[in-house]
Structure 1
Amino acid sequence: MILQNYLFTLLILFACSVAGKHFRFDYDYNEYVDGWFKLHLIPATWHDAWLRCDLEGSILASPINYQMKIAMEAYSKAKKMDDCAYYTGINALFSHGDHFSVEGESLARMPVKWAPGEPDNFNNREDCIVLTNGTIADVNCSEIFPYICFKKNTKDIIMTTCGTVDKEYKLESLTGNCYKFHQIGKPWKRAFMTCAAEGSYLAVINSPQEALLLKNIYDANHSKIRPGTSKDVINIGMHDWNEHGVWRTIHGLTIEEAGYADWAQGQPDNSSGQFCGAMFRNSKLDDFWCHASAPFICEKSLDSLLEL
C-alpha cells in the first residue's frame, strides 16, 4: 500500500512539474507576475510576517513595479481584502526614513502614492509600510496586520519526490515520510513553527526503528551543527505542557501510544521546568528546556503541500 501511494504521488508530482505552475497548495499562482501569492489573514507584527514568509520559502510581497502593484491589488480584492490594510515588505528598519523592500528596491521608484495625511511617522517610530485601497501608509512595525507572501517562479523551482521544492527533505523508505535536519538551533516553539511553515511537523517517533532512523540522521549532521547551540540533544515533537508528567506527541497521543517511550537513564528529571521533548544522540528521550536552542528534525508526509 505504501509503495502504491508513493508511485501515485510520483505521478502527481511529475504532472505538476510538467505544468511548471506548482509551488504549494496554499499559494495561488498569478500568471501576470509569474509567481505565487498567499494571504495570511491572521495579523502579525512586521517581523513575524517577514519570518513566516521566509520560512515558507517566499518573501513579504511589495508593489515594487506596476505589474506587482496590479497583481497585489487584484489578489487582495479577490480575497475581499481591498478595504483592509496589510503589510508589505517595505521598511526603513536599517536606516530611519530610507524605505526599501525586502528585495532591496527603493520605495521612491515604486508606482505607489501615500494615503492622505501620510507619511506622518507618528512618534518617530513608524518604519513599516502597509498597503490599502491602492495607497500606502507608514505604521509602527510592532502593530499587527494581515500580510501577503510572494514566491517568484524560477527555473530552479523543482518539485521533489517529497512533495516540496525544498531539496533538503529526504525520503526514507522505513516510514514513507521525508525528513530534514535543521543545523541552526532554535527553541522548541520556534522549531515547531519552522516545521509547520515548511509543510511538515516536528519529528514524532513512532517506533524503535524510527528512533534509530532519527539517530542516524542526527549522527550524519552532528558535525554541521552551527556554533552557539546545543549539540547534545535535538528537539522532537513531544511535550508535557497539558499535564506535567504525561508526555504526548504533537499529534495528541501519549508517547507510549505513539510507539516509543525509551527515556535515557534518569530522565525525565524535570530540571527547572523542562517541559519540551528532545532526543539524545543515543536515541534515548530527554526532557528539555523549551526556551533553549537545539537542532531539530522536521518530518513531512509526501502529500502535505499538494492539492488534495
Structure 2
Amino acid sequence: MFTKTLLVHLIVYCLSDFAYGNREDKFFRTDYNYLETTQAFYKIHTSKQTWGDAKRFCALEGASLFYPDDRAEANAVISLWQTIQPNVRWAFVGISDIVTEGVFETIDGKLVSEVYNQWQRGEPNDLNGDEDCVHLNLAGDLNDYRCDGKSYFICKKTLSSLVWDDLCNMPELGYTLFEAVGKCYKLHTTPLSWTEAHTVCHAEQTHLAVVSDQVEADYLANLTESAARRRIEGNYLKGMFHAGFHNRLHENWQTVRGSPIPSDASLWWDMHLPSEADHEQCGSMFYTGRLNIVNCDTKSLFICERQMDDSLGEEERYQ
C-alpha cells in the first residue's frame, strides 16, 4: 500500500505532463481564453469594479489589467469580446493619467502614444475634472472615465510570463506543498474581513484553509509563525487567522466546500464546537492551530489552500 507521501509524489509525477504543458498546451486558467495571434490569455470580467479594484483583481489572478499594445491586439481582443460577452459594452483598460494630469500612460509606464490610442471623438475630455482612468468599447474606442466609477474590465496574461508551480500544479502564486496532507497553502498578510479573504482565495482558484486534523493544525500553526515575526501594520485582530468554515447561510456550520466542520473537540479552542446559538458566523484559527469563530467583519490575516486533487476553476459552494 502506498504511503500518503508516496501517493502525493505519484500524483505530481502523473500530472507532470499537464503541469509542464502549461506553455506547450497554452493553458493558464480555465476562465481565461488564449489567442494564438497575440500569444496571450484574456478574461472579460462581468462583475463591475472601480479601476483600482479591477487592477487588483487581475493581479490576484496572476494577470494584469489589459490594454492593447497595438491595433492588431485591439482587434483580436474585441473579436473575442464580441463572441463571448457581447452584452458588455465598455471595459476598463490599464491606462490612466493618475500620476500626471493630462499624461495618459499604461500600468507599466508606457505613454499612450506608444500603444493603441484610438480615442472616441472628443475624448479624452476630463469631464468635471475627475476622469483619470480609461475604458474601451466594442467599437474599439477609448474614453476617459472616473476611476471611482464602476465598469467591467479585462485581464491579460502573456504566454511568455507564465510560470508554473509543478508541485501544486497551478500557476506560480506563492503556494507551498505540505505532502503529508496533499495540500498547498499560502499565508496572506494583508488584513481583510472573512468575506474579503474568501474572495481573495477564490480569485486564486483556491479557498480558505480547512483544518481537518491535528497534523494539519500543527503545520498551519508553524506556517503562521512567520507572520508573528513581521511588523504588519493595520488595525486587525492579531494572533487570529480566517479559516474556511462559516454559518453565513444559516444552514448549520459547514466548510467552504460544503462539508461538515471537524467534530473533534480537541481541535477547537476551549473544546467548544460552534452552534446555531453563536452570534459569530465565520471561522478562524488561533496562531496555536486551535479553531474558533469570529465576527465576519473582523479584519485578520488568512491562509488559502488548494487540495492536490482539485481541478483548476472549481467553484466553491459559498461565494
TM-score range, shorter chain: 0.7 to 0.9
- How far apart are the structure 2 equivalents of 1:227 and 1:26? 34
Per the alignment, in what secondary structure is the counterpart of residue 160 of structure 2? coil
- How far apart are the structure 2 equivalents of 1:104 and 1:261? 54
- CA 66–214 in structure 1, closer or farther in 2 if over 3 Å, else same: same
User: What CA deviation, in whole Å up to 9, does each residue of 1:60-108 have, x standing for no partner?
Assistant: 1012334432332233233243972111111223333332221122223
Per the alignment, in what secondary structure is the counterpart of residue 106 of structure 2? coil
The answer as to whether partners of 2:195 and 2:296 remain within 8 angstroms in 1 is yes
The one-letter code sitting in structure 2 at the alignment partner of 1:62 is: Y
The one-letter code sitting in structure 2 at the alignment partner of 1:285 is: L
Of the three residues 248, 261, 280, the one matched with 1:255 is 261
- How far apart are the structure 2 equivalents of 1:118 and 1:65? 19
Aligned equivalent of 2:77? 72
Aligned equivalent of 2:305? 299
Aligned equivalent of 1:150? 156
Shift of 1:304: 3.3
- CA 127–49 in structure 1, closer or farther in 2 if over 3 Å, else same: same
Shift of 1:52: 0.9
Per the alignment, in what secondary structure is the counterpart of residue 170 of structure 2? coil
Of the three residues 116, 129, 133, the one matched with 2:134 is 129
Aligned equivalent of 1:47? 52
Aligned equivalent of 2:182? 176
- How far apart are the structure 2 equivalents of 1:225 and 1:165? 29
- CA 260–81 in structure 1, closer or farther in 2 if over 3 Å, else same: farther
The one-letter code sitting in structure 1 at the alignment partner of 2:246 is: H
Aligned equivalent of 1:275? 281
Shift of 1:299: 0.6
The answer as to whether partners of 1:73 and 1:82 remain within 8 angstroms in 2 is no
User: What CA deviation, in whole Å up to 9, does each residue of 1:121-149 have, x standing for no partner?
Assistant: 33222222111101111222233322110
- How far apart are the structure 1 equivalents of 2:107 and 2:208? 28
- How far apart are the structure 2 equivalents of 1:164 and 1:174? 19
Worse-matched range after superposition: 284-293 or 201-210: 284-293
- CA 227–269 in structure 1, closer or farther in 2 if over 3 Å, else same: farther
- CA 215–110 in structure 1, closer or farther in 2 if over 3 Å, else same: same
The one-letter code sitting in structure 2 at the alignment partner of 1:90 is: I
Aligned equivalent of 1:61? 66
Q: Is the aligned partner of 1:215 residue 2:221?
A: yes
- CA 42–260 in structure 1, closer or farther in 2 if over 3 Å, else same: farther
Normalised TM-score (structure 2)? 0.81
- How far apart are the structure 2 equivalents of 1:147 and 1:306? 19
Shift of 1:57: 1.0
Aligned equivalent of 2:171? 165
The one-letter code sitting in structure 2 at the alignment partner of 1:60 is: L
Q: CA RMSD, aligned part only?
A: 3.1
The one-letter code sitting in structure 1 at the alignment partner of 2:134 is: I
The one-letter code sitting in structure 1 at the alignment partner of 2:48 is: P
- How far apart are the structure 2 equivalents of 1:138 and 1:188? 34
- CA 169–59 in structure 1, closer or farther in 2 if over 3 Å, else same: same
Of the three residues 5, 10, 16, the one matched with 2:16 is 10
Aligned residues: 303
Shift of 1:54: 0.9
Normalised TM-score (structure 1)? 0.84
Per the alignment, in what secondary structure is the counterpart of residue 181 of structure 1? strand
The answer as to whether partners of 2:281 and 2:296 remain within 8 angstroms in 1 is yes
The one-letter code sitting in structure 1 at the alignment partner of 2:243 is: I
Same amino acid, percent of matched pairs? 28
The one-letter code sitting in structure 1 at the alignment partner of 2:244 is: G
Shift of 1:10: 2.6
Aligned equivalent of 1:96? 101
Of the three residues 231, 236, 244, the one matched with 1:237 is 244
The one-letter code sitting in structure 1 at the alignment partner of 2:249 is: N
Worse-matched range after superposition: 5-14 or 195-204: 5-14
